[in-house]
Structure 1
Amino acid sequence: MDDHQKTLEELLCKHRKEKKELQAEIQKIKHGVPKGDKKRKKEATEQVAKLEKELGEKHNKELAELNESTSQEKPNNELETKMENLSTNDAETTEVKKSSKAQRRREKKVAQERERQHRIKEQEIKNLDGVRHIETEKLKSILKKLGLTFHQIASDGNCLYNAVCHQLSQRNIKATNESLRSEAANYMLAHPDDFMPFLTKPDGDSLYTEDEYKKYCQDVASTTTWGGQMEITALSHVLKLPVKVIQAEGAILQVGEDYNQSPIVLIYHRHEYGLGEHYNSVKEAVAENEEDGF
Structure 2
Amino acid sequence: MADAGDDKCDAEAELLQRHKKERKDLQSEIQKLKHSVSKDNKKKKKEITDKIALLEAELDCRHEKELADLKLHTTGAPQKLAGTVDEVVDKVGVLGVGDNEESDLGQQAQKKASKAQKQRAKKAAEDQEREDRIREQAIENLTSSRHLEAVKIGTLLAHRGLQIHEITSDGNCLYAAISHQLKKQQLMCTVDSLRGRVAEYMRSNPEEFMPFLTTESGEPFSEEDFEKYCHELETTPAWGGQLEIQALAQVLKVPIEVIQSEGPSLVSGEHFTGSPIVLTYYRHAYGLGEHYHSVEDRVETEEEFT
Choose the corresponding residue for 1:87, options 55, 62, 69: 69
- What are the equivalent positions in structure 2 for 1:110-259 lying under 5 Å apart? 115-116=129-130, 118-203=132-217, 205-259=218-272
Give the C-alpha shift of residue 131 in structure 1: 1.1
TM-score of the two chains, using structure 1 as the length reference = 0.63
Report the Cα distance in structure 2 between the residues aligned to 1:172 and 1:108, rounded to whole angstroms.
60
Q: Decide whether the 8 Å contact of 1:266 with 1:282 is kept in 2.
A: yes
Three-state SS of the structure 2 residue aligned to 1:288 is coil
Q: For structure 2, list consecutive stretches of 5 or more residues without a partner in the other structure.
A: 1-63, 86-111
| Alpha-carbon displacement from aligned partner over 1:149-201 (angstroms, at most 9, x marks no partner) | 00011111111011011101111111211111111111111110000011122
1:97 partner amino acid: G
Report the Cα distance in structure 2 between the residues aligned to 1:269 and 1:288, rounded to whole angstroms.
26
Q: For structure 1, list consecutive stretches of 5 or more residues without a partner in the other structure.
A: 1-81, 290-294
> Does 1:260 find its partner at 2:273?
yes
Kindly tell me: are residues 184 and 123 of structure 1, through their superposed partners in 2, closer, same or farther at Cα, counting changes over 3 Å?
same
| Alpha-carbon displacement from aligned partner over 1:195-226 (angstroms, at most 9, x marks no partner) | 001112234x3211110010001010111111
How many residues get paired?
207
Query: Which structure's CA Rg is the greater one?
Result: 2
Give the C-alpha shift of residue 275 in structure 1: 2.0
Give the C-alpha shift of residue 114 in structure 1: 6.5
Identity %: 45
Q: Decide whether the 8 Å contact of 1:83 with 1:122 is kept in 2.
A: no
Q: Decide whether the 8 Å contact of 2:68 with 2:134 is kept in 1.
A: no
TM-score of the two chains, using structure 2 as the length reference = 0.61
Report the Cα distance in structure 1 between the residues aligned to 2:126 and 2:172, rounded to whole angstroms.
35
Report the Cα distance in structure 1 between the residues aligned to 2:195 and 2:208, rounded to whole angstroms.
18
Q: Decide whether the 8 Å contact of 2:173 with 2:293 is kept in 1.
A: yes
